[in-house]
Amino acid sequence: MNAKVFSITGEEIRDIELDEEVFNREVSRGAIYYAIRNELANRRVGTACTKTRAEVNKSNTKPWAQKGTGRARAGDKKSPVWVGGGIIFGPRPRDYNYTIPRKMKQAAMRSILSLKYKENQIKIVENFTLEGAKTKELASILGHLIKPERAVIILRDEDGLIRRAGRNIPWLKFLSYNRLAAHELFYGRQILVLEDAARSLNEHYALKAGKKAGERRGD
């Protein structure tokens, strides 16, 4: 299928062929859910920690006699029922990271790209770079292409000048074609794809390319 390529001034200049397996396939919302859930879990630091009664800095002295006072029995002030005592079953440091199957993650990326394309939220832009890495220059280009709302730019190469220019734009994120993030793509209101990046997406996420990669590994 064909899509329009826009110049940095917002004008239609030519067509580009997009792979229907990547940009026009059936959307798997289950794959999208599991991919986003995996990314959010892997971002968790997992440093939350509470002290048990063995770790609380309190006295081991028995606060009052076992019998004869009319009070309930009490062993020490580290008991979880006392203020300042230990915590029962509180959070402890742990690793939340886990992996999902490669095919599921690729299916999620294809589904998100297809969903965004069907909703007219993907725009292919001619390749460009910034000489001085100026935020003002990048903001001027974006003003011709998208609204100032949550957006993602997909790059073909690690263009440090464009990334540096976009650091001061709070609603803008950058992704490489081979390192897409399901969370950023799904919640982005507008997705700008550089022309070379669009061609690379065709090759990287095509089903045929995935099968060949599996055959090489012996899957």
Residue-wise pLDDT for 191-204, tens only, equals 999 999 999 999 99
Domain boundary among 67, 95, 123: 95
Range of the domain at 184: 2-43+101-217
How confident is the model over 117-145, as a mean pLDDT? 92
Please check whether residues 120 and 205 belong to one and the same domain.
yes
- Burial status of residue 8 (CB atoms within 10 A of its CB: 0-12, 13-18, 19 or more): middle
Express as a percent the part of the chain with pLDDT over 70: 95
Q: Mind listing the pLDDT tens digit for each residue in 152-182?
A: 999 988 888 999 999 999 999 999 999 999 9
3-state secondary structure of 5: strand
Q: Are residues 140 and 181 in the same domain?
A: yes
Query: Based on the structure, what is the number of domains in the chain?
Result: 2
pLDDT at 29 over 90: yes
For residues 112 and 168, state if they share a domain.
yes
CA angle 45-46-48, nearest 5°?
120
pLDDT tens for each residue of 80-99: 999 999 999 999 999 999 99
Residue 187 predicted with pLDDT over 90: yes
pLDDT in tens, 51-83: 999 999 998 899 999 999 999 999 999 999 999
Name the percent of the chain lying above pLDDT 90: 86
pTM listed for this prediction: 0.82
Report the CATH number at residue 20. 3.40.1370.10
- pLDDT at position 133 is 84
* Beta-bridge partners for 173: 152
Alpha carbons 15 and 122: distance in angstroms, whole number: 14
Closest Cα partner for 91 from 51, 44, 45?
51
The pLDDT value recorded for residue 213 is 47
For residues 39 and 109, give the distance between their C-alpha atoms in angstroms, rounded to a whole number. Answer: 13
Please tell me the chain's helix, strand, coil percentages from 3-state DSSP, rounded to the nearest 5: 35, 15, 50
Which of 95, 128, 158 terminates a domain? The answer is: 95
| Phi, psi of 17, deg, nearest 5 | -90, 130
Q: Does residue 219 register a pLDDT over 90?
A: no
Using CA atoms, how far apart are residues 166 and 174, in angstroms rounded to an integer? 8
Task: Answer whether residue 214 shows pLDDT above 80.
Answer: no
Q: Phi and psi dihedrals of 175, rounded to 5?
A: -135, 150
Q: Are 31 and 150 in contact (CB under 8 A)?
A: no
